[in-house]
Amino acid sequence: MTGADLAILGVPFDQAVTHRPGSRFGPRAIREASTLQPYDPPYGWPFDPLSELHVVDTGDLAFDYARTSEFPNALTARIREILAQGVGTVTLGGDHFITLPILRAYAEKFGPLSVIQFDAHSDLWQDDDMERIDHGTFLYKAVKQGLVDPTRSVQIGIRTVTEDRLGLPMIDARAVHEEGPDAVADQVRRIVGDAPAYVTFDIDALDPAFAPGTGTPVWGGLQSWQAAAILRGLAGIRVVGGDVVEVSPPYDTTGATAIAGAHIATEIMCLYGWHRLGKG
C-alpha cells in the first residue's frame, strides 16, 4: 500500500442483523455498481478523487464465518494495519455492527471521534454486554467505550424511537425535509467543528423508494438528492474515514440500492480527499 491515500475494504458480514439478512452481498454489489461511475468526476465536486487520490481496493476482509466471536477483533486488526500506514479507509458493508470494530481502530489513532451517522435508526439501544454482536447497538457501545464523543457527533435521518440518546444531537428525517439540506449541513458543521470525523451511512437512511434493498426499511426517509446535497455540504470537515452499510441486494432486483451505495461511497471519498488534499 506504499503511497496510497485511501483503502477500500469490503466486509461481507451480516450475522448481527435482527431480521432480514443479505448485506453480506453488499460489497460485491456496490463494487459492481461503481463501474458506472469512474468515467466522469463526481458531479458537484471541483475535483476527481480517483484522479487526485491514490485509491487502493484491498478486497474483502478474510474471516471464519463459523467463528463469529473472532470477527470483531479480525476487523479491528485489519483497519489498524491500514491506518498504521497513514492510509484512510472507506468500508463497504455488511451490516451496521461492523462500524464498532472499525471505530475501535480509529479511536486508537485519533482519540474519541465525531461520528456523522446517516440512518433510520439510532443504533443506541441499550446493551451493556460488550461481547454481544448486534447491529442495533453499535453506537451505544461505542459511546460507552469512549470511542465516540457524543457532544460532537450527530445523527441524520432518524425516524424511529430511542428513549435514551446518550446526549447525541439528532436531525430527524422530518427536519431534513422541512429545513433543507443546506441548513442541515450547516448544523452538522457547527456540531462537529474541527474534530476528526467518521461518516457512517446506513443505506436505510434513504426512503425505501430509493433504497429498497436493505434489511430494516422505514418509510419517510431521505431522498437521494437530499443525501447528496448534505454530504457535499460537509466539505471541509476533517473526515478521516467512513463506511456504507446495510446494502442487501436480495431485496432489490433493480440494483438501485447498490447504485446509491456506490455514489455514497464516492461522496465519502470526496470528503476524505477534500481534507487530505487541502482543498479548502
**Binding-site residues from annotation:** 96, 119, 121, 123, 202, 204
**Binding-site residues from annotation for Mn(2+):** 96, 119, 121, 123, 202, 204
Q: What are the grid coordinates assigned to 156, written together?
A: 441524520
Furthest C-alpha separation in the chain: 47
State how far the Cα of 200 lies from the Cα of 113, in Å rounded to an integer.
12
Asked if residue 94 has a cis previous peptide bond (ω within 30° of 0), the answer is yes
Sort 183 into a burial class: Cβ within 10 Å, 0-12 / 13-18 / 19+: middle
Positive or negative: CA dihedral 109, 115, 117, 123:
positive
Q: Is 181 helix (H, G, I), strand (E, B) or coil?
A: helix
26-34 helix and 256-276 helix, angle to the nearest 10 degrees: 70
State how far the Cα of 161 lies from the Cα of 187, in Å rounded to an integer.
22
Query: Of the candidates 237, 151, 141, which has an alpha carbon nearest to the alpha carbon of residue 189?
Result: 237
Sheet holding 239-245, edge to edge: 55-60, 6-11, 88-93, 239-245, 197-202, 114-118, 154-156, 170-171
